[in-house]
Amino acid sequence: MNAAPGQPATDHPGSPENQRWRERVRRFAEEEIAPLSAKMDRTAALDATLRERLFSEGLMSVEIPRGYGGTGGTLCQLILTVEEVARVDPGVAVGVHVHNVLVAGTLLRHASGDQRRQYLPQLATGRIGAFALSEEQAGSDAFALATVARQEGAGYVLSGRKRWTSNARNADLLLVFALADDGGPTAFVVPADAPGVSLDHRVEQMGVRAAATSDVVLDRTPVRTAQRIGPPGGGQTVAMAGLDLGRLGIAAQMVGLAQGALDVAVGYSRVREQFGSRIADYQGVQFPLADVASRLAAARALLYQAVGLCGRGTDPVELMRLTAMAKYIASDVAERAASVAVETLGGNGYTDAYPVERFYRDAKAGKIYEGTSNVLLRTIASIMTGVNPGD
């Protein structure tokens, strides 16, 4: 797992520069994302005007260097971006995460110089990326792929179906993983309007609906060798490196969600009165909120610890352990925070008049995508014990 080129060794969430960046993203999220969240949840679509604003504010090019038209920020700033966006809308945060971490970040770390020069300016200035790995039988077993890349002429022809692809209905560029007949799992950059590419039925999700998820169908889609990322058969290395960083992005999303839910619950408890007192005066309300706040602080500290070690020469196995732990703990805290928030608001929490109902639906995804909780526990345990889970 590598940090972006040039990431400063002193980069940390509490630095003045990063605190200014956090405040900038927080204002943007509160002023421009939050008013649209209910509509985007109902329509399961990213607002078109918001899409443009995300790019113009630099939130879709955080790590992309300025020379490619990007913001020129750091991994730490990217994690703070996802966290603050998720504080008001976890669905939008998924789209920001997939584009920045899994697509732009993968190209930044694994693409050739020519490929970076071709694709990163596009991803920095308006074209959204989607990460097309999962299939019907390739979920937790991510490389049980049926999508194939057969050599033909000077390139390949891709055929297959990708499932549960976040950003698919917004995407202009797809990072597709297929079994190449000259090597095995291999990554390709595929324009969404390439011949043979189509979207099948929209995936109706319980939560994170603004992520615009859909199936992607490839029907003899031609790609050039220049669109291949890494060598034939190198796709597993490319994907796993992206997913390791991706777990930090999901952990940030869950930390932000938990903070958003906690903020709403605490604010409500201070103004809601029952039996002549604010409900914040009752221990039965205070203690669950205090418990969530404590667990959230621990999850955030673990997340920042893992982010701080990226690109510092840390043992890759140790980083894998920390990223797995960060996502596991953060997703658990998010689910608990959302549940406590709904209960704190009572009947109001069970309606869409307040955002905690949406947070509750959004939180469940954190225990599923980019490594289920059981898969993460298996990873952590195998590193601790030295026992290969396949033995």
pLDDT tens digits for 176-215? Answer: 999 998 889 999 999 999 999 999 877 788 989 998 888 9
Write down the pLDDT at residue 313.
Answer: 75
Residue 163 φ then ψ, to 5°? -110, 160
Write down the pLDDT at residue 1.
Answer: 42
Query: How far is C-alpha 296 from the geometric centre of its chain's CA atoms?
Result: 19
pLDDT at 298 over 50: yes
Q: Which two tokens stand for residue 273?
A: 């009165």
83 labelled catalytic: no
Write down the pLDDT at residue 145.
Answer: 86
* Residue 12 three-state SS: coil
Write down the pLDDT at residue 310.
Answer: 85
Give residue-wise pLDDT tens across range 43-68.
999 999 999 999 999 999 999 999 99
Please pick, among 63, 84, 135, 370, the residue that the annotation labels catalytic.
370
Is 162:123 a contact under the CB 8 Å cutoff?
no
DSSP for 107-165 reads HHHHS-HHHHHHHHHHHHHT--EEEE--BTTBSSSTT----EEEEETTEEEEEEEEEEE
Q: Report how far residue 350's alpha carbon sits from residue 354's, in angstroms, rounded to the nearest whole number.
A: 8
E strand or H helix that includes residue 229: strand 228-229
DSSP state of 189: E
Is 3:12 a contact under the CB 8 Å cutoff?
no
Q: How confident is the model at residue 139 (pLDDT cuts 50, 70, 90)?
A: low
How much is the average pLDDT of 157-173? 93
Q: Report how far residue 277's alpha carbon sits from residue 268's, in angstroms, rounded to the nearest whole number.
A: 13
Q: What angle do CA 388, 183, 239 make, to 5 degrees?
A: 55
Write down the pLDDT at residue 106.
Answer: 94
Write down the pLDDT at residue 389.
Answer: 57
* 386 or 157, higher pLDDT: 157
Write down the pLDDT at residue 5.
Answer: 45
How much is the average pLDDT of 104-110? 94
pLDDT at 136 over 80: yes
Write down the pLDDT at residue 69.
Answer: 96
* Cβ atoms < 10 Å from Cβ of 131: 28
Write down the pLDDT at residue 287.
Answer: 98
Least confident interval from 71-85, 235-249, 316-330: 235-249
Q: How confident is the model at residue 34 (pLDDT cuts 50, 70, 90)?
A: very high
Q: How confident is the model at residue 27 (pLDDT cuts 50, 70, 90)?
A: very high
pLDDT at 229 over 50: yes
Write down the pLDDT at residue 10.
Answer: 56
Mean pLDDT of the chain: 92
How much is the average pLDDT of 329-342? 98
How much is the average pLDDT of 268-290? 96
Is 151:193 a contact under the CB 8 Å cutoff?
no
pLDDT at 92 over 80: yes
pLDDT at 4 over 90: no
β-pair type (173-180, 129-132):
parallel
